[in-house]
Amino acid sequence: MAPSIRLSPAARSLFDEPLAIAVQGLGPRQRVTLRTSLRDETGELFQASAHYQAGDDGELDLARCPALPGGSFSGLEPMGLLWALQPQKPFWRLIKRDVQSPFLLQLEVLEGHGERPGRLLAQVQHERAFLRDGVRRVPVREGRIRATLFLPPGEDTFPGIIDINGYGGGLFEPRASLLANHGFATLALAYYQFEDLPQEPKELHLEYFEEAVNYMLQHPQVKGPGVGLLGFSKGGEVSLAMAAFLNNIKAVASLNAPVVATCIPFYYKDKIIPTVTSYEHKAKATNSKFLDYSDVIDDPFQAPGNQSLIPLEKAEAQFLFIVGQDDHVVKSEYYATEVCKLLQAQGKENFKILSYPGTGHCIDPPFFPLYCIGSHPVFHKRAVLGGELTAYSKAQVHAWSQIQAFFKKYL
């Protein structure tokens, strides 16, 4: 019997779903290398490989067989071949622009464990999709709002979430599309560098974001009376400001976000939150010659009455702070801890912190590759973003399930 690869689901799975991988038809105790490859939409290649030994029966099931040392990872890691994917072009990030098409994953079984891959024994292709069958993608151009709404299958009403990405601008849809597969009506909201929105905004007016909240609450398939916000980095900061000033926000999940206004001030009616001072010269060069920007922002908690601090004590929402202990862009764990102390001092208990060791600034949905050194979102220089492969892969899976549980509970 010739070797063959068995996948479950067989032909297509969702990007954030586990994929069961097994090989049959090998020789007893045969040593093989398994390799995965994926090309992004620009054609850049991501690869991972691992060394394995089949059982006495010639079977190899990644759920039961540990990877041997020498590949991208070792140990019992059934999804290692997906989370360990790394770009062949240094410092490149895997981004999905068009969520309506899947990524194509190539799996190969190669003979032996040598430096150079041995003979190809088996191969298979698999689609990693972003939209479950029946999920609708609806472009939104209502008033000033520039967004995409993802609706789960069916005619029911669903809990509503607005997903806001960090610096970088544009319209970012992967997280929102994946959430819709789990039963949430999710609006991916652009707020600059997209269509007719400002290219380089000098201020952010919360009225724009309020329009998005009202759009969601008026939608016949969004279950009121309030919405949830999911924000990453600057988007998390925007979400916290929205919770402090706007009505109808029930739950905010913030991923590695500052709790102060950074770079762009917030305006709402007659109120202004000015930006905290940052000092680019305080960036430190690491021994790998990349810059560490974790200390460039003034500490808002050391200056009593700091006007840049977002007044979260005014918010009615529930907060879930998700922080990477190895975040080198934002002191996210410190910020979350200090702001929760302030809330506690006000007699509030509307917060929870999930803190992940070995996890850097970028916390994506499960199985996105680690992006630990890349372009700094503000200073646009090569910077340490933080994170360590295995710890980060575990954090992704845990945080993603916690985000869903949090929104199910409060929406």
Catalytically annotated residues: 233, 327, 361
Residue 198, burial from CB neighbour count under 10 angstroms (0-12, 13-18, 19+): middle
Nearest to 407 by CA among 258, 259, 227: 227
Please confirm whether the linkage preceding 225 is cis (ω < 30° from 0).
yes
Coil, strand or helix at 62: coil
Structure tokens at 327: 């975040």
- CB burial string 270-281: b at 16+ within 10 A, e below: eeebebbebeee
Q: At a CB cut-off of 8 Å and minimum separation 6, what does 290 contact?
A: 373, 382, 383, 384
Nearest to 74 by CA among 369, 390, 371: 390
Helices 206-218 and 234-245, axial angle in degrees (round to 10): 80
Bridge partners (DSSP) listed for residue 383:
291, 374
| Alpha carbon of residue 141 to chain centroid | 25
Structure tokens at 383: 């910077």
Distance separating the N- and C-terminal Cα atoms of the chain = 53
Nearest to 327 by CA among 220, 397, 398, 233: 233
User: In angstroms, rounded to a whole number, what is the distance separating the alpha carbons of residues 202 and 265?
Assistant: 7
DSSP code of residue 311: -
User: In angstroms, rounded to a whole number, what is the distance separating the alpha carbons of residues 45 and 33?
Assistant: 18
Residue 117, burial from CB neighbour count under 10 angstroms (0-12, 13-18, 19+): middle
